[in-house]
């Protein structure tokens, strides 16, 4: 009996999340109602409220799930020093590709700006913990450098997502890493 209830809970949460994301792709969170989410999901409002306090809570839970999953995904890989930044960037882009619609929606103008900040924190934490380069400079410089690299990379990734991911994750990883390592001189060496 418990397995059946667990499956039902998972299904309910899944359709509520999917319905919410579809609505968020079309309009801002402030103009979405619980009623709309429930109608799209074909779920009663009382059932919605047994899982979430409101649609902002639902968004929070979706973002928590993604950031936790992304952290686990990135931490499941180990790289040699020579390949670490390229490989980590590629793995991140592969993850985004597999969850394309979710990232397109959460990083678009209707999404929650704090989600982008959460992604930055995950990437910065991973970089500062795992990359030898960041352990060789002062803590303050390391923090500024990681902020510079990660914010630039996230904005490039957003452009890539908006451009319907015309390049492969590997091509984008190479480009982002060249930008991070060589900046404007990358274009001179092309």
Indicate where the chain has its CATH 1.10.357.10 domain(s): 60-188
Q: Please list, residue by residue across 145-162, b when 16 or more beta carbons sit within 10 angstroms of its beta carbon and e when fewer do.
A: bbeebbeebbeebeebbe
- pTM for the model stands at 0.78
* CATH class, 60-188 region: mainly alpha
pLDDT confidence band for 185 (50 / 70 / 90): low
- Give pLDDT, residue 41: 95
Of 90, 107, 96, 115, give the one whose Cα is nearest residue 169. Answer: 90
Q: What is the pLDDT of residues 27-43, one digit of tens each?
A: 988 999 999 999 999 99
- Give pLDDT, residue 152: 86
Fold (topology level) of 1-52 = Arc Repressor Mutant, subunit A (1.10.10)
Indicate where the chain has its CATH 1.10.10.60 domain(s): 1-52
Average pLDDT, the chain: 82
- d(CA 47, CA 169) in angstroms, rounded, equals 39
Q: What is the DSSP string of 41-96?
A: HT--HHHHHHH-SSHHHHHHHHHHHHHHHHHHHHHT----TTTHHHHHHHHHHHHH
The token pair that represents 142 in the structure block:
């390391």
141 has pLDDT over 90:
no
Between 4-8, 31-35, 112-116, 170-174, the lowest mean confidence (pLDDT) is in: 4-8
Q: What is the pLDDT of residues 35-89, one digit of tens each?
A: 999 999 999 999 999 999 999 999 999 999 998 988 888 777 665 555 667 777 8
Q: Within 13 Å of residue 66, how many CA atoms lie on the same side as its CB?
A: 24
């Amino acid at each position: 009996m418990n397995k059946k209830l667990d499956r039902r809970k998972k299904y309910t949460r899944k359709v509520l999340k999917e319905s919410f994301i579809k609505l968020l792709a079309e309009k801002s969170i402030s103009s979405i109602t619980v009623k709309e989410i429930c109608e799209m999901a074909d779920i009663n409002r009382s059932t919605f409220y047994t899982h979430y306090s409101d649609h902002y809570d639902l968004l929070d839970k979706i973002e928590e799930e993604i950031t936790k999953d992304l952290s686990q995904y990135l931490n499941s890989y180990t790289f040699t020093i020579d390949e670490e930044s390229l490989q980590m960037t590629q793995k991140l882009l592969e993850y985004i590709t597999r969850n394309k619609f979710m990232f397109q929606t959460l990083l678009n103008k209707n999404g929650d700006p704090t989600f982008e900040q959460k992604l930055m924190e995950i990437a910065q934490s991973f970089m500062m913990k795992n990359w030898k380069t960041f352990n060789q400079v002062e803590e303050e410089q390391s923090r500024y450098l990681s902020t510079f690299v990660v914010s630039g990379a996230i904005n490039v990734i957003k452009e890539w997502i908006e451009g319907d991911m015309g390049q492969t994750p590997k091509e984008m990883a190479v480009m982002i890493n060249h930008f991070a390592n060589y900046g404007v001189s990358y274009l001179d060496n092309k």
